[in-house]
Chain A
Amino acid sequence: MSATVDPLPAAPTDRPGPGEVPEPDPGDRHLRRRRRERLLAAALLAPSALVFAVFVFYPFARNIYLSLYSTPPFPNLPSRFVGLSQYSQVLGSHNFLNSLWVTALFVVYTVPAGLLAGLLLALLAHQKLKGIRVFRTVFASPVATSVAVASVIFFTLLNPQVGLFTYWLGQQNQLSVLDNPTWALVAVSVVTVWQNIGLSFILMSAGLQAVPDELLEACEIDGAKGWARLRHVVVPLLSPTIFFAVVVGTILSLQSFGQIDLLTQGGPLQRTNLLVYNIYDQVFNQNNEGRAAVMAIALFFITLVLALVQIRLLERRVTYGN
């Protein structure tokens, strides 16, 4: 990589250190030192580069390759090159469009609710009260639950025979909410919101912490009351955090898999067949890698657009800050 001798001047750096000041006479010693530095850089970057090459870039390229070949109906037949036609076939299919719609609904159900809940808890915990630290720990505690822990808690509490939530919902010995086409996605969303509430609370609290106390005190002296203060001072100052939470939350929500695998397996009637679960289903149950590859590329582009939006917002924020 960098061990090759490069006649071009070094790429621009972010930090003008003294080593980088153009030396008038790059003698033999300097040349040797620079070569050593390059070797060291190569050695330091190589382990990461190797992992990325094998487990990020290669599989991604192979994914593109697979997306151009249609998977044969029987495992021993050769796969056939079909090019982009597989894209139009898969992306226009009812199965994919349903997944896209369900995933969008899931994002709408989980992201705003999680964010508002986190903001509410953060505002409440941002007071000078005795014992407030206990409440902060309590509000943050769901962050210690994995998607499996959260899902299995609710799965067990929604058990049709003995589940406590089943009893409270008056659904004992009836169709479980997880098998109900109307409510399954809502139930999965509730589990997800609860699991993410700790993270959302932590993000919002950190954002609030960055709001200077004097500003809030100044509002108080000016007579700005609770709601007005929240709307005109706190929320605008928190907007970078909120944007970040929206984008990261949306990306995470798009990539949800565990709760579906544990709670509904995409059913009932595909009402919870989120995009990632659909990809998984195509690979392991339908044995159709070609379709799975197309959907994975679609997921990649959706995520990419969101990530670019995030970078844009971050850049704009930096400009505001200055």
Chain B
Amino acid sequence: MGTEPSVAALAPGFTTALFAVAGIVVVAVLLRVASRHGTPLRRRRATKVSRYLLLVVLGVIVLFPIYITVVNSLLAPDQIAQRPPLLFPTHPEWSTYATAWTSGHLGRYLMNSFIVTVAIVVGTLVTSIAAGYAFAFLEFPFKRTIFVVFLATMMVPLEVTFFTNLQTVVSLGWYNSYLALIVPFLATGFGAFLMRQAFLGLPGELRDAAKIDGLGHLRFMTRIAVPLARPAIAALGLFAFFSAFNQYLWPLIVTKNDQYRTVQIGLKILSRSQISTINVTFAGIVLAFIPLFVLLLVFQKQLIRGLTAGAVKG
């Protein structure tokens, strides 16, 4: 192929990859069919091998875009352009990461993202615990109505209100600042709902016992209810972290320079750079991906709980 413009609809590389995948799937299916015959031991072994084959093929497909990004981030630009493509970095160039961090401003972008994300997570947790506690343990007029109003906020996504919110932020003098990036997300209807559910799930006798012991609401909340609701709090915190860190539309419209841009917006700027620095773009992507990937590895269980809250339990 080289760099000649090709007339064929499918390049040999793509065709080869397709055939390789198809071939492995066929082998897996054949093994599966074969597993219906033969001795039990052989059958079991064939089933097992076919299952692993399928898992590996699908794993490779799912992971490939991330893998090739990591590989390309370690290649020199001319190596990235090399055909046939290099699928493994023989002489990894780690210095690209330093370039991305400093002249690609990834250091600054990531710091902004962390400041904004941590503030949003802490704020969401505080407001959600407070509101959830009020709905679960306190009596006050119009409780039902207020709860429905809180839930109704989930029906108005930012995609509907972003430009009117931008006007508000501008008139508050918050344009291009951390306040603009943080304050609108300090409370969510989802968080209040989740914490209310978590508190209602605690045994009812707890509050009575605490009352007899002379514990007021504030002390009951901080010393008993919150520690017992830790799983829900962790799930909500991780959920808030992911959504805050990944925001795109809002940071795009309320920031105008690198001083406040988050890493997601930084990626847009990196993606518009020259081909001669395309390796820096790849390194930038990896740097933007790593924080959440590490969180996923460490807190897989809690994260799954957060993402599926409402899905499984209803």
Contacts and interface: CB of A to CB of B under 8 A. Distances in A.
A188 interface: no
Interface in A35-72: 37-38, 40-42, 44-45, 47-49, 51-52, 54-60, 62-63, 66
Contact of B134 (A41, A142, A159): A41
Given A38-B140, A143-B296, A45 B131 contact: yes
Contacts of B157: 251, 255, 303
Contacts of B167: 62
Contacts of B66: 141-142, 145, 153
A194 interface: yes
Interface string B2-15: 01111011110110
A157 interface: yes
Q: Which secondary structure dominates where chain B touches chain A? A: helix
Contact of A146 (B17, B48, B165, B245): B245
Contacts of B3: 172-173
Nearest to B199: A15
Interface string B158-188: 0111111101100000000000000110110
B29 interface: no
Contact of A304 (B14, B17, B155): B155
B114 interface: no
Interface in B171-217: 183-184, 186-187, 189, 192, 200, 204, 207-208, 211, 217
B155 A44 contact: no
A173 B5 contact: yes
B62 A142 contact: yes
B271 A155 contact: yes
Contacts of A317: 314
A91 interface: no
Interface in A133-147: 135, 137-147
Contacts of B63: 138, 141
B163 A289 contact: yes
A144 B289 CA distance: 7
B99 interface: no
B1 A172 contact: yes
Contact of B1 (A49, A157, A170): A170
A112 B167 CA distance: 37
Contacts of B254: none
Contacts of B240: none
Interface residues of B, number: 114
Contacts of A56: 153, 156, 161
Contact of A206 (B187, B282, B312): B312
A2 interface: yes
B6 A206 contact: no
Nearest to B128: A48
Interface of B: 1, 3-6, 8-11, 13-14, 17, 48, 51-52, 54-55, 58-59, 62-63, 65-66, 68-69, 72, 77, 80-81, 83, 85, 126-128, 130-131, 133-134, 136-146, 149-150, 153-157, 159-165, 167-168, 183-184, 186-187, 189, 192, 200, 204, 207-208, 211, 217-218, 242, 245-246, 248-249, 252-253, 263-265, 267-268, 270-271, 275, 278, 281-282, 284-285, 288-289, 292-293, 295-297, 300, 303-304, 307-308, 310-312, 314
12 contacts: A11-B145, A44-B130, A44-B131, A59-B168, A129-B52, A139-B62, A144-B292, A144-B296, A167-B1, A197-B62, A244-B311, A289-B163
Interface of A: 1-2, 4, 6, 8, 10-15, 17-20, 34, 37-38, 40-42, 44-45, 47-49, 51-52, 54-60, 62-63, 66, 120-121, 124-125, 127, 129, 132, 135, 137-157, 159, 161-162, 164, 167-174, 194, 197, 199, 202-203, 205-207, 210, 240-241, 244-245, 248, 251, 255, 257-258, 261-262, 276, 279-280, 283-284, 289, 292-293, 296-297, 299-300, 303-304, 307, 314, 317-318, 321
Closest 3 CB pairs of A and B: A170-B11, A59-B164, A146-B246
Given A11-B143, A167-B85, 6 more contacts: A52-B150, A148-B263, A157-B65, A164-B85, A303-B155, A318-B314
